[in-house]
Amino acid sequence: QKEVEQNSGPLSVPEGAIASLNCTYSDRGSQSFFWYRQYSGKSPELIMFIYSNGDKEDGRFTAQLNKASQYVSLLIRDSQPSDSATYLCAVGYGGATNKLIFGTGTLLAVQP
């Protein structure tokens, strides 16, 4: 059973701080890793994806992947109240099924 685990939170950070969101996965065959943001009552929207070990930066967001530890994280710098949402980690297995397994999400609350 492939699993993706996240702390459900809420993770509360003050405005301007760095928010750190973490995710672990169980299957070493995982090939691709995604972070989605979901506002209440809305659909998930892609923030970033990462395939290789190391860091990947896009604006205020940095994704970090460590395949040896089966760990992926998302850092949000200069957090804004508008970043308050649920952040979903997803792990892809590629192949014929292109299956994406989601974690249960971490609720982030950025306090003004």
Partner 1 sequence: DTAVSQTPKYLVTQMGNDKSIKCEQNLGHDTMYWYKQDSKKFLKIMFSYNNKELIINETVPNRFSPKSPDKAHLNLHINSLELGDSAVYFCASSQGGTENTIYFGEGSWLTVV
Size of the site for partner 1 (CB under 8 A): 25
Nearer to partner 1 (CB atom), residue 29 or residue 94: 94
Is 105 among the residues that bind partner 1 (CB under 8 A)?
yes
Q: Any idea what DSSP says for residue 60?
A: T
- Extract the tokens encoding 55: 């860091």
SS3 95: coil
| Category of 29 on φ-ψ map: left (φ > 0), alpha (ψ -120 to 50) or beta | alpha
Is 96 among the residues that bind partner 1 (CB under 8 A)?
yes
Whether the Cβ atoms of residue 2 and residue 26 lie closer than 8 Å to each other: yes
Nearer to partner 1 (CB atom), residue 44 or residue 64: 44
Site residues for partner 1 per CB under 8 A: 31-32, 34, 38, 42-46, 49, 51, 86, 88, 90, 92, 94, 96-102, 104-105
